[in-house]
């Protein structure tokens, strides 16, 4: 039985995003919340980023103001490798069924992380598109942002520009430097058109990889924790290293492997990259 209605699928393809409640069952959601609470508690024992992910970087990242008295765990890299609940949500849930209905039937996993905006955090994520961070041979790529906490207008919700996934790709390079954000004048226009994506815990925002988006500060007394997974159609082949390498990269969550490659030409603002420049990017902190 389909999870999404024809109207919901049409909305996604027209607007580039879709918010749906009950993306995971209550048992899985409760286990995800419990696992994150346990990680926050454990973080009291550490004064800096700690643990080891698949590629050797720290599994857990903390804010500069983190302390045992006031833990400030802000990111967990590849939680699917250390939590059955997060793996289940990524691999076999209503969320993955939705993906199959939008870019399937053959869908594979790319990477995941948890981003948590802590109460009173003033940081806003600048406007950008995900595709330049994870380019593929075609743009059947979706970022799924599962709301582990309720997301409100006050606690740092995702903001999007509807329909912008059908426009051009914007450069993230400015004046010879990689900024990870689009040009300020374009970002100002985005802010004027911004639509806020909110929902109760267990909801998911499905976002096309080309959609222009940013994230507001958390001005509330409540955390905003997102489980972020990136998926692609099986015939979309990565063109750059994975920003969060993990042991499940390329695993099918729907359908079967086709051994096909589909390529698409893109209209892109080409950056002026300094000769010999090198950089490493951790995909946006939505």
Q: What is the mean pLDDT of residues 134-155?
A: 96
Instruction: Tell me: pLDDT of 280 over 50.
Output: no
Kindly tell me if the per-residue pLDDT of 122 is higher than 90: no
Under the banding of pLDDT at 50, 70 and 90, the label for residue 119 is confident
DSSP 121-166: ----EEEE-STTTS-BSS--EEEEEEESS-B-SSB--EEE-TTGGG
Q: Quick check: is 262 in a domain?
A: no
- Residue 65 pLDDT class (50, 70, 90 cuts): confident
Q: How many CB atoms lie within 10 A of CB 24?
A: 28
For residue 278, the model assigns a pLDDT of 42
DSSP-derived letter for residue 103 is H
Residue 52 in this model has a pLDDT that exceeds 90: yes
Q: Does residue 282 sit within a domain?
A: no
d(CA 99, CA 146): 13
Q: Give all strands (DSSP E) within the chain, no chain letters.
A: 17-20, 60-62, 73-77, 107-117, 125-128, 141-147, 158-160, 173-174, 177-178, 195-197, 204-208, 213-215, 224-233, 252-254
3-state class (DSSP) for residue 108 = strand
**Three-class SS of residue 188?**
helix
Average pLDDT over the chain reads 92
Integer Cα distance of 254 and 258 in angstroms: 12
What are the tens digits of pLDDT across the range 182-209?
Answer: 999 999 999 999 999 999 999 999 999 9
Terminal CA-CA length for the chain: 31
- Identify the pLDDT of residue 45: 97
| Mean pLDDT for the stretch of residues 86-104 | 98
Whether residue 198 lies inside any domain: the answer is yes
Would residue 147 count as lying in a domain? yes
How far is it, in rounded angstroms, from Cα 218 to Cα 254? 35
- In tens, the pLDDT along 238-258 reads 999 999 999 999 999 999 999
Distances (CA, A) of 255 to 10, 13, 20: 22, 21, 22
Q: What is the rounded average pLDDT of the residues 261-271?
A: 68
11-20, 22-31, 262-271: least confident range = 262-271
Q: What's the confidence (pLDDT) of residue 270?
A: 46
Percentage of residues in the chain having pLDDT higher than 70 = 92
Q: What CATH number is attached to the domain comprising 121? A: 2.60.120.620
Q: How many domains does the chain have?
A: 1
Tell me the residue range of the domain where 17 lies.
6-254
From CA 271, how far away is CA 27, in angstroms rounded? 47
Q: Is residue 95 situated within a structural domain? A: yes
Average pLDDT over residues 70-97: 97
In a domain, 118, yes or no: yes
Q: Tell me whether residue 205 is in a domain.
A: yes
Q: Of 2-16, 139-153, 176-190, which gets the smallest average pLDDT?
A: 176-190
């Amino acid at each position: 039985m389909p999870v999404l209605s024809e109207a919901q699928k049409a909305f996604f393809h027209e607007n580039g995003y879709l918010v749906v409640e009950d993306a995971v069952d209550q048992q899985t959601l409760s286990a995800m919340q419990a696992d994150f609470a346990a990680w926050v508690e454990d973080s009291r024992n550490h004064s800096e980023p700690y643990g080891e992910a698949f590629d050797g970087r720290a599994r857990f990242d903390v804010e500069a103001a983190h302390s045992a008295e006031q833990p400030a765990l802000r990111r967990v890299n590849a939680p699917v490798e250390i939590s059955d609940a997060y793996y289940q949500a990524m691999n076999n849930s209503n969320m993955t069924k939705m993906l199959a209905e939008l870019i399937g039937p053959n869908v594979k996993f790319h990477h995941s992380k948890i981003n948590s905006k802590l109460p009173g955090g003033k940081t806003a994520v600048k406007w950008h598109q995900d595709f330049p961070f994870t380019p593929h041979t075609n743009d059947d790529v979706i970022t799924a942002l599962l709301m582990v906490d309720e997301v409100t207008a006050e606690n740092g919700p995702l903001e999007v520009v509807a329909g912008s996934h059908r426009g051009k790709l914007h450069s993230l390079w400015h004046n010879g430097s990689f900024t990870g954000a689009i040009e300020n004048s374009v970002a100002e226009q985005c802010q004027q058109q911004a639509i806020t994506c909110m929902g109760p815990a267990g909801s998911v925002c499905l976002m096309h990889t080309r959609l222009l988006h940013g994230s507001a500060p958390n001005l509330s007394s409540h955390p905003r924790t997102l489980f972020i997974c990136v998926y692609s159609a099986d015939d979309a082949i990565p063109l750059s290293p994975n920003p969060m390498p993990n042991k499940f990269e390329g695993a099918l969550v729907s359908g079967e492997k086709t051994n096909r490659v589909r390529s698409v030409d893109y209209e892109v603002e080409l950056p002026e990259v300094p000769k010999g420049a090198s950089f490493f990017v951790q995909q946006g902190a939505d």
